[in-house]
Amino acid sequence: MNLPVLSLTALLIAVVISCISRINVGFLSIAFALIIGVFFGGMKVQAVVAGFPVSLFVTLVGITLLFSQARVNGTLDKVARHSVKLARDSPGMIPIIFFALAVILATIGVGNIASAALLIPIAMAIGEKAGITAFLMAIMVGNGANAGAFSPFAPTGIIANDLMGKVGLIGVEWRTYFNTFIAQSFVAFVGYFTLGGLKLFTREAKVCDELKEEVEPFTGKQKFTLGVIAALVASVMLFKIDVTLGAFVGAAILTLSRTTDEEAAVKMMPWGTILMVCGVTVLIALMEKTGGMELFSDLLARFSTKTTVTATIAFVTGVISVYASSSGVVLPAFLPTIPGLITKLGGGNPMAIASSINVGAHLVDISPLSTLGALCLANAPLSEDRRALFNKLLLWGLAMCIVGAVVCFVFFGLLL
């Protein structure tokens, strides 16, 4: 078996294992890359390990450390509890408020998974007492978190922009964000209003205890934390400060000022996801060196045309993401194929294909087999039929494979 086939086979095995087990395929991918590169390709270990994305790793560590600190000292939780009080007079507005809050938190750098983990317990508790189904709350919080996930400040956005930059898509960070935001928001609100959200606006308001209770004001440490986060966002947007530099400086300030518990924050960081992304990237780098990426692009091109590629790639990434990590496995595997795919098809819009990969991979994340869906299921109220909710979330996730293909074909195939 030649090197291109070996490296592609290793990637496909890693993807399958990530779908059927809890094994971190980042470690597995590095092992595959070393075995193939050293024993079959005659490469030195250093040459294989050179594929480790050091810059991406450092950026992810800085961003996730800063916002883990903000979670540990209760700043983000209090932001959420203050915000939901805006919806006290309208049950129909409660899920919308949570959607907006998830977007905001994910956008400023908290990220989709961390935002959902923070908001879902609150959303489910309030939803139960306000007479809102757990399914509707899951749709709005999950899709809201993903709508803000591709911010240049957020882990998923950092991963996507790093991978897109390597294939020539440079300076499109906010375009990537808004493409995903529009698609995710469109699907979320259509689903919300179609599946029962509209009826909530015609129902008499039912005010729950959580919305009646006064939330304690921010402490001095929490206000200081908000100031540091605001300074980071402003410095990056207005003064073009590198987000990695800003995040580490902000994290250091919070640590030195004893504003938060650094040890607890480090433990809360998503190390598994960070190492998964970096490990898969090592294997992808080896594929590029051995010709495996060209073979993968050729395989994808056989099922696509210049007209249908946005729909096809969204469907394929969606199907895989129902079971596997969207940012940890799917993005590192598919975004690098864009140049080769366009060459095989005889043309195409790289931004449209990248947006289809990003959207297709994340629209399905409310599946209970994915992290966001699992969080929703785990935090559902005791009064909720867990089996029925599991089936609804799974059906939603599978349906999003097709919906994602249609949305990407229209938004990025016809309109972009």
Residue 1 within a domain: yes
CA dist., res. 311 & res. 299, Å (int): 16
4-16 in b/e burial notation, b at 16+ Cβ within 10 A?
bebbbebbeebbe
Domain tally for the chain?
1
Residue 388 within a domain: no
Residue 263 within a domain: no
CA dist., res. 219 & res. 297, Å (int): 53
Q: Considering the entire predicted model, what is its pTM?
A: 0.85
What CA–CA distances, in Å, run from 10 to 7, 273, 284, 326?
5, 20, 10, 18
CA dist., res. 288 & res. 32, Å (int): 14
Range of the domain at 8: 1-50+272-290
What CA–CA distances, in Å, run from 164 to 50, 105, 237?
19, 23, 20
The pLDDT, as a whole number, for residue 416 is: 65
Residue 398 within a domain: no
155-166 helix and 173-192 helix, angle to the nearest 10 degrees:
130
Task: Give the DSSP letter string of 116-137.
Answer: HHHHHHHHHHHHHHTT--HHHH
Contact in structure between 73 and 114 (CB atoms under 8 Å): no
Residue 19 within a domain: yes
Residue 5 within a domain: yes
What is the chain's pLDDT, residue by residue, as a tens digit (416 residues)? Answer: 688 999 999 999 988 888 788 788 899 999 999 999 999 999 999 999 999 999 989 998 999 999 899 989 999 888 887 777 776 667 888 899 999 999 999 999 888 988 998 888 888 888 887 888 999 999 999 999 999 999 998 999 999 999 999 999 999 999 999 999 999 999 999 999 999 988 888 766 555 555 556 778 899 999 999 999 999 888 888 888 888 899 999 999 999 999 999 999 999 898 988 988 899 999 999 998 998 888 888 888 888 888 899 999 999 999 999 878 888 889 999 999 999 999 999 889 999 999 999 999 999 999 887 888 888 988 888 888 888 999 999 999 999 999 999 999 999 988 76
Question: Who's near 16: CB < 8 A, 6+ residues apart?
Answer: none
Question: Who's near 337: CB < 8 A, 6+ residues apart?
Answer: 293, 296, 297, 300
The pLDDT, as a whole number, for residue 404 is: 95
The pLDDT, as a whole number, for residue 91 is: 83
Residue 15 within a domain: yes
Residue 126 within a domain: no
The pLDDT, as a whole number, for residue 241 is: 87
CA dist., res. 376 & res. 211, Å (int): 21
